[in-house]
Structure 1
Amino acid sequence: MTFSFSLTVLITFLSKLGLETFYPNKLTLRSLLEINKNSINEEAASSVQKIPWCFLRKLFKLNAECRGCTQVSNSEDNEESSDPLELDLYTADESADNEVNPLDLVTALFLCADSFLQQEMALKMTMCQFSVPLLMPHVNNSQSTLMLWALRDIVKEWCPHLSESRDFVENHIVQAKIPLYSFVRLQNCGLSKSQMLNQVLILGQQNHNIFIHREMKGGAIERHISNGLAEVYWYLPRGREHPDVFPDPIAFANLRGNISESLAQFTFLFQVSTATFVFLDKIEKEEHEILTSLQDVKSKLFLVVNRKDGSSKEDMESVKKTVK
């Protein structure tokens, strides 16, 4: 089964955010400024339709808190209600309509933005040290858009430890020869690969998250359109005098959703990656067939097994069978 969200699901979600008239690729920098000219100082979203603009305003100010724009701020209804039962009913019945997963929000905005706004968004996201879209899922099919145009203006500099000179290298990031390491998961996986990647890459910066994960604000909200999204982040060393995690630049790709639902994206990432890391608890029959059908598996595929106390013998046997 290949993941695809229907056009109905997409339009319903975009309508919820007030973005349906901008799909596909009709949102421009100019329209963004026009829409926000009367609310430029508004820091919180007073309605769900204002969430995208709250996110974009903060992003364009390079405010790393922009990904916290996932839900409506305290509404007048809640403030005016003095009945606890009424408030509980509101929370139970309507709160889901007033919040969005930040991954869905980013996906929606990139699907609605034109190519130039996509470039600006990607540039600002990298400046905030966020991951950016690499593969954008399509509606009703197994294809994805490789976001090279959106990433083409990103210029970075780094200082490899192994370089004979101590000069910094500067290059457009999509043109640089940097190895790609991809991280994917199976359906049953209980590990958060995004959290694990953050812990490795941020080097003790506990308050910064490169990849959105379930423990972040809004990260546990149900996703509707972002499964199949692959994000990328470039780790760039600063030189021998710094406590770099890796001595040379490395690109990290993170596929959202499991590989059975995003087979086309997984296959592409496996083909272009130096190594692919698969997070799992056990391996189902369909997943076994997918993994064992790949070419050059031994040199490129690594299984990251979440061996829990309650793991059954059958779970471990399914892993050993695939490894063999």
Structure 2
Amino acid sequence: MSNAVQCTGSNAPDPQRGDELQSSPDMHSGLPKACQFIFFKLGLCSLYPRKITVADLLSINSLSLTNNQPRTDSELWRYFVNKLMMLDVKCRYVRCEHAKEECTIRSANEDDFFSFGEEINESADEKTHIHPMDVHMAVFHCTDDFARERFISKLSACQFALPLLVPNLSTGQIEVPLYALQQIKKIWASNSQTGTEQHVSEYILSSHVRVVSFIRVGTSKISKSQIMNYILNDNKHPAYFSRHCDGNTKTRLLLDGVAEISWYCPGGSKDCIFQECVSLINLHGDANKHPGQLEFIQRISSVIVVLLPEDPREPEIVESVKRLQETQIPLIFLFSGVEHVTSSSDNRIAAKNRNDAELKREIVSKVTCVLHKQNDVQSLESHIDTAIKSGLITTTER
């Protein structure tokens, strides 16, 4: 690509040199500094925003990338795109291949056997690799409308969750890749009122499908994304990237505030956890910090599953729960720090030290109970149209 710049070697900025990063002529002042650094490391400086075209994606797809793994950060996004275009589900786990050190194992010194060097954690964090979903989202922010449609269609073919709500990095405005999502088709089997099995093939955004949303309030040691992966397919194929996925790091910047969507499409078997197609939305990050996304989710959801921190009695958490309960939306609360709830009939679920299968069964049972009581279902497309007209969100298309 002729308009790409190389941000490697001597041209790559040092994270400690904030002044140089801020004054770079290649970057846009509207981007947060931390985000600028990611684009520098990936070599995407001149491609933000929205400068990657379909032709660029296809040219990357035609490249003969002989190495199994990229050797520099600036190669990461090309390898990611190349594998995604080939529908390689391992595309999200691409990372730099550094020289391997000789494997040696020695007996630990008895004097410092129980010392693990906690005091040097900061230097270790500085050398960590780029989070896979930062690569994923950086490419998304750099694609134009037509490339974005191709990008999302490939994500869908790989059975990955799709970006639904994406904060604009420069303006903070909540955007929806509407046209790209309108092209996504899903197939599922459902049972009619007469008991006969019906196979449905529809553009999923215009289909009347119930929405189950998952949000987190505060912080938690439990992974909400992993719970959702277990609900979808017993975590056999992670639609959502969780902290337990290969390549995860503590430094994740571009995914916070993003709401991803996937669909549970039943096959007609009695073993299916839902007998109708259900949309599953995952809001990444603390919902308190993303009020616009939370408002949209409250508008469209049939039920919201709320993951609470280990100590839910903190004043900020208590106030957040009260605000959520003031709405008319059915809520199910997952308590990260509770091992047992006395009553099994209310909307609280203990999530601490729970067997994955048991936790999944209890969540699905309560969600299904709520869904069975609801008859009025609108399409997600109509909800999005209403939110756009009210100014809450906007489309990414130009």
Provide TM-score, normalisation by structure 2: 0.67
Task: State whether structure 2 residue 318 is matched by structure 1 residue 288.
Answer: yes
Mapping for residues 49-198 of structure 1, pairs under 5 Å: 49-69=74-94, 71-75=95-99, 96=126, 99-139=129-169, 141-162=171-192, 164=194, 165-198=196-229
Report how far residue 21 of structure 1 moved. Answer: 1.1
Letter in 2 for 1:249: C
Distance change in 2, residues 1:285/1:93 (3 Å): closer
Residue equivalent to 1:316 = none
Aligned-residue CA RMSD (Å): 3.0
Query: What percent identity do the matched residue pairs reach?
Result: 27
For residues 15-38 of structure 1, give each alpha carbon's deviation from its aligned partner in whole angstroms, at most 9, with x where no partner exists. 110112111111112123335654
Q: Helix, strand or coil for the counterpart of 2:288?
A: coil
Letter in 1 for 2:268: G
Task: State whether structure 2 residue 33 is matched by structure 1 residue 8.
Answer: yes
Report how far residue 72 of structure 1 moved. Answer: 0.5
Q: Helix, strand or coil for the counterpart of 1:255?
A: strand
- For 2:318 and 2:31, the matched residues in 1 are separated by 28
Report how far residue 198 of structure 1 moved. Answer: 1.1
Report how far residue 287 of structure 1 moved. Answer: 3.6
Letter in 2 for 1:110: F
Is residue 307–residue 333 contact of structure 2 (8 Å, CA) maintained in 1?
Answer: yes
- For 1:93 and 1:190, the matched residues in 2 are separated by 23
Residue equivalent to 1:226 = 255
Report how far residue 297 of structure 1 moved. Answer: 2.9
Report how far residue 43 of structure 1 moved. Answer: 2.9
- For 1:214 and 1:303, the matched residues in 2 are separated by 21
5+ residue gaps, structure 1, are: 83-90, 310-318, 320-324
Residue equivalent to 2:230 = 199
5+ residue gaps, structure 2, are: 1-29, 105-120, 340-348, 350-398
Residue equivalent to 1:236 = 265
Distance change in 2, residues 1:142/1:266 (3 Å): farther
Q: Which moved more, 1:42-51 or 1:6-15?
A: 6-15
Report how far residue 223 of structure 1 moved. Answer: 0.5
Residue equivalent to 2:356 = none
- For 1:96 and 1:37, the matched residues in 2 are separated by 34
Q: 1:212 aligns with which of 218, 241, 249?
A: 241
Letter in 1 for 2:292: A
Residue equivalent to 1:29 = 54
Q: 1:253 aligns with which of 253, 265, 281?
A: 281
Letter in 1 for 2:50: N
Report how far residue 147 of structure 1 moved. Answer: 2.2
Letter in 2 for 1:43: N
Is residue 234–residue 249 contact of structure 1 (8 Å, CA) maintained in 2?
Answer: yes
Residue equivalent to 1:86 = none
Is residue 162–residue 248 contact of structure 1 (8 Å, CA) maintained in 2?
Answer: no
- For 1:220 and 1:161, the matched residues in 2 are separated by 43
Q: Helix, strand or coil for the counterpart of 1:198?
A: helix
Provide TM-score, normalisation by structure 1: 0.81
Q: Helix, strand or coil for the counterpart of 1:286?
A: helix
- For 2:193 and 2:83, the matched residues in 1 are separated by 38
Distance change in 2, residues 1:36/1:99 (3 Å): farther
Is residue 257–residue 283 contact of structure 2 (8 Å, CA) maintained in 1?
Answer: yes
Report how far residue 140 of structure 1 moved. Answer: 5.5
Number of aligned pairs? 295
Distance change in 2, residues 1:58/1:163 (3 Å): farther
For residues 142-183 of structure 1, give each alpha carbon's deviation from its aligned partner in whole angstroms, at most 9, with x where no partner exists. 521122222121111111134544231111111111111110
- For 1:303 and 1:144, the matched residues in 2 are separated by 26
Report how far residue 92 of structure 1 moved. Answer: 8.5
Residue equivalent to 1:313 = none
- For 2:326 and 2:211, the matched residues in 1 are separated by 16
- For 2:210 and 2:51, the matched residues in 1 are separated by 34
Residue equivalent to 1:264 = 292
Residue equivalent to 2:6 = none
